[in-house]
A and B are shown apart, each in its own frame.
Chain A
């Protein structure tokens, strides 16, 4: 008995790590989306085809990657598309999205709010208003509870 109680190595063990009920985030490395294609979007913006640029920007969201550079790039592209929209075109663009598209749009809007630059917040607020009208409180709740951020 004396020999066992001398060692205090057990104190360095974090017992909570081995708890079988401990919450672990799912790691989905399988699907690796790289984010929208910048060059293609640039072309479309120059041509003035905002709707197609918008839809392409919202494809392939980098939700599964841990790499912040990819996420930054995707965010920059989407924000560029969002800010080059005219106010009157925002509503039809939002209406053309399906449910998961609206959720994704909300995620990008909230990420865009984190780094306000010149006029981006004003446009984003307009986008938020229109997206909220279509998606409702549910879309905001899905942004708050999402484990995989865009």
Chain B
């Protein structure tokens, strides 16, 4: 039995990686509805022509990944396997922990979509939004950021949070370790294990080409 289970893991991860590579082809696209605004189209869903087909990759009926793309943003929802009650509780607590710290994570959404467990969201902003763009960041309130504002705000102020002294995380992998203090975090070992399992599915997400925007 274990042979069969792990045999699907590698093709599953490869399929997710390939689909993600195809869906993470983003470019800056200002809102067509409101001038000077730049909204993640996958969240707003105002224009049909900007949205891609949502696609699911499933390993079995409990574990799947939903990828919804659009012209400037992508939403990745993960359904984590929860075999029994204790795993359900652990998963719920871990997700709550991660999502409460969503603003430090930058690409994590505060609320998952219905019936899914964990949600990553990536929005391609114009190059002027320096720090946020480096971390693939969102400033939409839905994602724990400031008010979206308009593009006249060239300088975005850094918020001082309790974990700020540990530095702004550069990549997904390191960010999880860099901003929680052992005192507030009870499920330390389990979370490390779950984090590495979840995040190992998304190593080295390629960013769309920032350099194209230099000429603006």
Determine if B52 is an interface residue (Cβ-Cβ < 8 Å).
yes
Determine if A125 is an interface residue (Cβ-Cβ < 8 Å).
yes
Determine if A140 is an interface residue (Cβ-Cβ < 8 Å).
yes
Distance between Cα atoms of A140 and B67 in the complex (Å)? 12
Residues A145 and B60 in contact in the complex (CB < 8 Å), given A122-B7, A140-B18: no
B58: chain A residues at CB < 8 Å are 113-114, 116, 121
Distance between Cα atoms of A39 and B18 in the complex (Å)? 35
Chain A contacts with B in 15-55, Cβ cutoff 8 A: 23, 25
Determine if A2 is an interface residue (Cβ-Cβ < 8 Å).
no
Distance between Cα atoms of A18 and B133 in the complex (Å)? 36
Q: Is the CB of B55 within 8 A of A141?
A: no
Distance between Cα atoms of A129 and B15 in the complex (Å)? 7
Determine if B82 is an interface residue (Cβ-Cβ < 8 Å).
no
B53: chain A residues at CB < 8 Å are 143-146, 149
**Cβ distance B99 to chain A, nearest Cβ, rounded Å:** 26
Q: Is the CB of B22 within 8 A of A125?
A: no
Distance between Cα atoms of A23 and B52 in the complex (Å)? 14
B61: chain A residues at CB < 8 Å are 116-117, 121
Determine if A132 is an interface residue (Cβ-Cβ < 8 Å).
yes
A115-150 vs B, CB cutoff 8 Å, 1 = contact: the mask equals 011000110011011001000010011011110010
Determine if B11 is an interface residue (Cβ-Cβ < 8 Å).
yes
Chain B contacts with A in 1-56, Cβ cutoff 8 A: 4, 7-8, 11-12, 14-15, 18-19, 21-23, 25, 47-49, 52-53, 55-56
Determine if A110 is an interface residue (Cβ-Cβ < 8 Å).
yes
B18: chain A residues at CB < 8 Å are 128, 132, 137, 140
Residues A110 and B52 in contact in the complex (CB < 8 Å), given A116-B60, A125-B12, A128-B11: no
Q: Is the CB of B49 within 8 A of A125?
A: no
Residues A143 and B55 in contact in the complex (CB < 8 Å), given A132-B15, A132-B18: yes
Interface size on A, residues (CB 8 A): 22
If over half of A's interface residues share one DSSP class (helix, strand or loop), that class is named, otherwise mixed; here it is helix
Q: Is the CB of B49 within 8 A of A23?
A: yes
**Cβ distance B70 to chain A, nearest Cβ, rounded Å:** 10
Residues A113 and B64 in contact in the complex (CB < 8 Å), given A125-B15, A129-B15, A144-B22: yes
**Cβ distance A22 to chain B, nearest Cβ, rounded Å:** 9
Chain B contacts with A in 58-84, Cβ cutoff 8 A: 58-61, 64, 69
Determine if B131 is an interface residue (Cβ-Cβ < 8 Å).
no
Q: Is the CB of A23 within 8 A of B56?
A: no
| Chain B residue with the shortest CB-CB distance to A117 | B61
Determine if B135 is an interface residue (Cβ-Cβ < 8 Å).
no
Distance between Cα atoms of A126 and B11 in the complex (Å)? 7
Q: Is the CB of A113 within 8 A of B57?
A: yes
Q: Is the CB of B21 within 8 A of A113?
A: no
Q: Is the CB of A140 within 8 A of B11?
A: no
Distance between Cα atoms of A141 and B4 in the complex (Å)? 30
22 A-B residue pairs with CB within 8 Å: A25-B48, A110-B57, A113-B55, A113-B57, A113-B64, A114-B58, A116-B59, A116-B60, A116-B61, A121-B59, A122-B7, A122-B8, A125-B59, A128-B11, A132-B14, A137-B21, A140-B18, A140-B22, A143-B53, A144-B69, A145-B53, A146-B53
Can you list the 3 inter-chain pairs with the closest CB atoms, starting with the nearest?
Answer: A140-B22, A23-B49, A125-B11
Task: Give 19 A-B pairs besides A129-B15, A149-B53 with Cβ atoms closer than 8 angstroms.
Answer: A113-B55, A113-B57, A114-B56, A114-B58, A116-B60, A121-B8, A121-B60, A122-B7, A125-B8, A125-B11, A125-B15, A128-B11, A128-B57, A132-B18, A137-B18, A137-B22, A143-B53, A144-B22, A144-B69
